[in-house]
Each structure stands twice: as C-alpha cells, then as structure tokens.
Structure 1
Amino acid sequence: MTRTVLERFPAGGPRGSWPAEEFAGARRDEGVPARVVMDLESDAFLVVVEQRPPEQRTASGQRAPSPRAAGPRPPEQRAADREPVGAVRE
C-alpha cells in the first residue's frame, strides 16, 4: 500500500488551530479517505491518502495470488520488507 501526500502543515501552528485536521475533514466530506499523520523528521503534519496497488491479473483474466499467499517467509526477508517507522512514501 502506498501513501500520497495531499498537503503538508507545519507542526508549530497557533494553539487551538488544527489546519491539517480541517483540510483532511474537508477531503473526507468530498469522499476522499484522507487522514493526518505526523512526520517527525520534518516536524510537520501530513494529510495522506492510502492507495492499494491495482490487482494483478493472469493472462486468463483470473486474479493473481498475492505474494503473501505464497506462505511464510524467513524472518530476515520479512525484516527487509518493513519500512522505517515514520517513513512516508510520496
């Protein structure tokens, strides 16, 4: 699953001001499943939308099995697949 950043807001806003939450709420009112996450590295709030990759199809039109359906992987391979905490793909 990938995330698309719609907007960035600095974390140092005035007390009682929630511009990232307001922006995300407006997007949700439009039907976009936006949510707010904190990017600690840049000290900013990000409004993101998570997107699933398109389904893979075989030549016969059948849905291809997901890589996770192939069975358990060794721990070192699972660790290599993880993203660092706080990472956001853009």
Structure 2
Amino acid sequence: MKHAQVLGTFPAGSPRGSWPAEELAERLRSQGRAAEVVMDLATDAFLVVAPGPAEVVHVDTVEAAPAQAQYTAAS
C-alpha cells in the first residue's frame, strides 16, 4: 500500500500492545470499510490505515463500538 489514510494511532508501548488497533480495524471491517494495522517504527506506534490518499482522518466514534471507546488519529 503506497498511500493510506491513517484512521487511528495507538502507542506500541501500551500494555495491550497492538490489540486496541486490531479491535478498531475489526470494527471498521465489520462496517464494510477497508482497514489494516501496520507498525510505524518512526513513531513507535500501531496505525490503523485504509487505502486512499495520504492523510490523517479522525475516527471519533465507530458504530457498534463501546460507548466509552473513542479513537483519535495523531496529526
């Protein structure tokens, strides 16, 4: 994937590792959106990305996600 929209970022040092990123990607896929998790070594973070123009997209809430779960991409 040459270009991607960043839908969410999660610190790699989190106690849960990549799980939060994987959970967001799964929720997005269940809604019919393309999403995958990649590791950004430069920022030491897991990114949830989708094919598209290179830009950061803020995912504030995801349908079917727990009410307290909010995901924000870093700018």
What TM-score range do you get, normalising by the shorter chain? 0.5 to 0.7
Q: 1:47 to 1:15 in 2, by over 3 A?
A: closer
Instruction: Report the structure, 1 or 2, having the larger helix content.
Output: 1
Aligned counterparts of 1:2 and 1:16: Cα–Cα separation in 2 = 24
User: What is the one-letter code of the residue matched to 1:25?
Assistant: E
Matches within 5 A, 1:50-69: 50-51=51-52
Give the unaligned 5+ runs of structure 2.
56-75
Q: Percent of counterpart pairs with the same letter?
A: 59
Number of aligned residues: 54
Give the unaligned 5+ runs of structure 1.
54-88
Equivalence for 2:10: 9
- Per the normalisation by structure 1, the TM-score is 0.53
C-alpha RMSD of the superposition:
2.0
Larger Rg: 1
Runs of 4+ in 1 over 4 A off after TM superposition: none
Q: 1:35 to 1:16 in 2, by over 3 A?
A: closer
Aligned counterparts of 2:11 and 2:5: Cα–Cα separation in 1 = 18
